[in-house]
């Protein structure tokens, strides 16, 4: 059984999707009989570079061509599609990157075509060639015979030497929009009798990231995995992703401000061997998709969805470069989850304190101290939010991994011994720390750094995070 991406590979120029600027130039060259001796097709994988190169080869060698499109019926067209045509030579530079392969090409280009009108050399991932191989190829490109056409395909044009680029016509392929990929997947699904819902197709199209080949490969993988109608949950299981319900449990816990539930989901993901980065990436994608759904999955406003998506993307960037990925993910997730419930809790706390003022005048001194604590916590949360969005992330992470309190008119930042590195870093940034707290509190304050001797595990640190972030009405 032929795989889907090969079975449904475009066979004519008109079937190639979203590369009209390239097709127009190539078709114009064929019509005017002025095909260049060298082309560079650059762009993301799965966007049609080698496919268009084969169609060009068929058009140049077709025995019954009418206009510019190959007939796809003659022996030349069939053999090119099958990969058996003697005068169309394909080379994968990723596995054949040495000078010997290019020398063999250089020695062969001088001979006339054996079966067709043109010899067409298609070199895929050309940027992988060695320096010596590029030098040998350069000699060939300088004065090629009129019956030879080179098509160099690459996903990384920056690595192709300028001397090679200057001797070729360069065309940059574009990512294929999700809508066009989804439309093509629907056509293939109907042709193959695949029962799949629109949400699942939309997810596959988006996950393909602009590559039609990847989309068709994923569709086939899901099709072979499923036993009935394919829905979004089936797609997640077939592709080895985190189940969609787990993703939505995580998002709902964040939106509701349930830090304990957030930690429970993160623990389940961690102990199941899944990647936090995958979880957050899928969470953001599902949140964005929810903005387009007729029936919303999440009980949140558009602005809340946009805000939490932005915060999750910031967290994703931090996790990618963090040494303690698990801890950073827990800290960041706890911080985001409290953002949406903190204001309401703070209002309740202020109202409760106001009632106590009226009913318990004799406790005014105690209340003033509580108000100061509440005010400090409020200002501290604001500072953390500013640091996370556009401040010094090293300070944000360090403060997240410490206990911060306001004692005797000064800010006390306490680290346990396992966070000595952050303690030393904050010592160097102490003036900056004092300036940040002073500016936020509206008065000059001293910051005292403390390093405790007791080592704590990730679970104990998580309890500190709960005490720092979790607010219960």
Q: Where are the beta strands (DSSP E) in 307-443?
A: 403-407, 410-415
Q: Which is nearest to 141 in space by CA: 116, 170, 115, 114? A: 170
What pLDDT does 460 receive? Answer: 52
Integer CA distances (angstroms), 379 to 199, 337, 404, 438, in order:
43, 18, 12, 11
Query: Rounded distance, CA 116 to CA 62, Å?
Result: 8
Q: Is 148 exposed, middle or buried (0-12, 13-18, 19+ CB in 10 A)?
A: buried
pLDDT at residue 96, rounded to an integer: 80
Place of tokens 């953390």: 384
Angle among Cα 75, 80, 82 to the nearest 5 degrees reads 95
Higher pLDDT, 27 or 457: 27
Which domains does the chain possess?
A: 4-172 (3.40.50.300), 178-238 (1.10.8.60), 244-339 (1.20.272.10), 342-469 (3.30.300)
Say if strands 403-407 and 410-415 run parallel, antiparallel, or are unpaired.
antiparallel
Beta strands in 127-180 (DSSP E): 148-154, 169-172
Of 9 and 96, the structure prediction assigns the larger pLDDT to: 9
How is residue 387 written in tokens?
């640091």
Structure tokens at 147: 């019956």
Find, among 110, 114, 111, the residue nearest to 87 by Cα: 114
Buried b / exposed e over 294-329, threshold 16 CB at 10 Å, is eeeebebeeeebeebbebbebbbebbeebebbbbbb
Q: What pLDDT does residue 360 have?
A: 54
What's the pLDDT tens digit per position in 356-390? Answer: 555 554 455 455 555 566 778 888 888 888 887 77
Nearest alpha-carbon partner for 469 in 371, 322, 352, 346: 346
pLDDT at 465: 54
Least confident of 156-160, 267-271, 356-360: 356-360
Q: Rounded mean pLDDT of 261-287?
A: 91
Please count the CA atoms within 13 angstroms of the CA of 130 that sit on its side-chain side: 12
């Amino acid at each position: 059984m032929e795989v889907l991406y090969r079975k449904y590979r475009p066979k004519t120029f008109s079937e190639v999707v979203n590369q009209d600027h390239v097709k127009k130039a190539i078709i114009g060259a064929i019509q005017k009989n002025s095909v260049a001796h060298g082309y560079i097709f650059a762009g993301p994988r799965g966007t049609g570079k080698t496919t268009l190169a084969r169609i060009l080869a068929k058009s140049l060698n077709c025995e019954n061509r009418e206009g510019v499109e190959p007939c796809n019926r003659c022996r030349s067209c069939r053999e090119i599609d099958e990969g058996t045509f003697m005068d169309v030579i394909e080379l994968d530079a990723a596995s054949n990157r040495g000078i010997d392969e290019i020398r063999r090409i250089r020695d062969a280009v001088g001979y006339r075509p054996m079966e067709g009108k043109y010899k067409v050399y298609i070199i895929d991932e050309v940027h992988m060639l060695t320096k010596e191989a590029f030098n040998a190829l350069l000699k060939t490109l300088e004065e090629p015979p009129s019956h030879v056409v080179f098509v160099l395909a690459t996903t990384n044009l920056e690595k192709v030497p300028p001397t090679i680029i200057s001797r070729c016509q360069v065309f940059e392929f574009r990512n294929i929009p999700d809508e066009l990929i989804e439309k093509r997947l629907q056509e293939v699904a109907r042709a193959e009798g695949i029962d799949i819902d629109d949400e699942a197709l939309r997810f596959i199209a988006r996950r393909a990231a602009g590559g039609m080949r990847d989309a068709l490969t994923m569709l086939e993988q899901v099709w072979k995995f499923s036993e009935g109608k394919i829905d979004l949950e089936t797609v997640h299981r077939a592709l080895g992703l985190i189940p969609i319900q787990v993703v939505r449990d995580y998002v709902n816990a964040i939106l509701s401000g349930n830090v304990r539930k957030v930690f429970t989901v993160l623990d389940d993901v961690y102990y199941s061997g899944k990647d936090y980065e995958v979880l957050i990436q899928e969470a953001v994608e599902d949140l964005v998709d929810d903005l387009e759904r007729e029936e919303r999955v999440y009980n949140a406003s558009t602005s809340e969805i946009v805000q939490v998506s932005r915060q999750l993307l910031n967290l994703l960037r931090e996790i990618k470069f963090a040494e303690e990925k698990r801890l950073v993910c827990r800290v960041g997730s706890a911080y985001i989850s409290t953002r949406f419930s903190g204001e309401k809790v703070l209002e309740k706390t202020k109202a409760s304190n106001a009632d106590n003022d009226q009913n318990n005048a004799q406790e005014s001194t105690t209340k003033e101290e509580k108000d100061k604590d509440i005010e400090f916590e409020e200002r501290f949360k604001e500072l953390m939010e500013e640091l996370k969005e556009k401040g010094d992330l090293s300070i944000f992470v360090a403060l997240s991994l410490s206990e911060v309190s306001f004692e005797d008119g000064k800010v006390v930042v306490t680290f346990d011994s396992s966070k000595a590195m952050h303690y030393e870093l904050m010592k160097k940034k102490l003036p900056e720390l004092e300036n940040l707290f002073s500016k936020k509190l509206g008065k000059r304050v001293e910051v005292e750094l403390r390093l405790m001797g007791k080592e704590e595990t990730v679970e104990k640190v998580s309890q500190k995070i709960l005490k720092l972030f979790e607010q219960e009405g």
